[in-house]
Amino acid sequence: MGKLPGRVAIVTGGGRGIGRAIALRFVEEDAAVTVAGTGREHLEATVAGIRSRGGRAHAAVADVADEAAVERLIASTLEAFGRLDILVNNSGIAGPTSTVASLARPDWERTLAVNLTGAFLCAKHAWPHLTRSPFGRIINIGSVAGFIGYPLRAPYAASKWGMIGLTRTLALEAGEHGITVNAIAPGSVRGERMDAVIRSRAASLGQTYEEIERSYLEPTALKRMVEPEELAATAVFLCSDEARSITGETLSVSAGFRV
């Protein structure tokens, strides 16, 4: 038996990268999963992969910044599985690479809307169902950018600082219901998004891809990027019975990132 037997989870941003790794690992641990996001093709591919292995999964196309879409996401999960035990707020965008002085307001607002407001909306509408679960868990995917100043990435950093505050506040409000709320702060995670971030930063600073990549690796103790599967393992632990007394925390999974 896995560590999450019979539990039902929503993983936003579940079609690719970190979200996909978490969804796959949850199913390996005997949970059922709704994978949500804006890319139908990626969501359906993830669900097909899960079902081919005998797992239970459901795809829901939803922009988490749209409250009506979030409400439909929760409703479709209840229709598919009849309950909700775990919410993983993973949906996020990298946002622009720009100085604050050059930043366009719509880019700022869209980054905050997806990365932070989306987590708030999902928590808000999942709340009444999580309070009825004996295994209620919320996992917010933050970033080490939530601990530092991050030149050229102001809206992204602000959204991740905000995610830590939201996590701590939710934990205090949820405790009386037995729900734990924690955040995971990844460092540089190997994959398409990190590749795009490096390329954009290299172009903005007039440096090579290799120079920018080194700038992300040098502050880490292990001198490497984090693998999505390592974050998935952390999420499973935080959602398991073993972590029932851990709440309001932000766990850095960053290969030892320090500034």
106 & 216 share domain: no
pLDDT per position as a tens digit, 201-211: 999 899 999 99
Rounded to 10 deg, the angle between the 192-205 and 209-217 helix axes is 120
Catalytic residue (one of 150, 156, 209, 216): 156
69 & 85 share domain: yes
Alpha helices in 37-186, H assignment, sequence order: 40-52, 67-81, 105-112, 118-130, 154-174
Domain that holds residue 197: 190-225
Look at residue 191 in the predicted model and tell me its pLDDT.
86
Distance CA 225, CA 206 (A): 23
Asked if residue 137 belongs to a domain, the reply is: yes
End-to-end CA distance of the chain: 41
Whether the pLDDT of residue 259 is over 70: the answer is no
Among the listed residues 8, 237, 247, 241, the one whose alpha carbon sits nearest the alpha carbon of residue 133: 8
Distance CA 208, CA 100 (A): 23
Distance CA 101, CA 110 (A): 17
Asked if residue 257 belongs to a domain, the reply is: no
156 given a catalytic annotation: yes
pLDDT per position as a tens digit, 54-72: 999 999 999 999 999 999 9
Burial 210-225 (b: 16+ CB within 10 A, else e): eebbeebeebbeeeeb
Number of structural domains found in the chain? 2
What single-letter amino acid sits at 139? I
CATH code for the domain in which residue 136 is found = 3.40.50.720
Distance CA 110, CA 173 (A): 27
Q: How far is CA 138 from CA 55, 58, 65, 141, in A?
A: 22, 19, 18, 10
Give the global pTM.
Answer: 0.94
pLDDT per position as a tens digit, 154-200: 999 999 999 999 999 999 999 999 999 999 999 999 988 888 889 99
Distance CA 186, CA 146 (A): 10
183 & 194 share domain: no
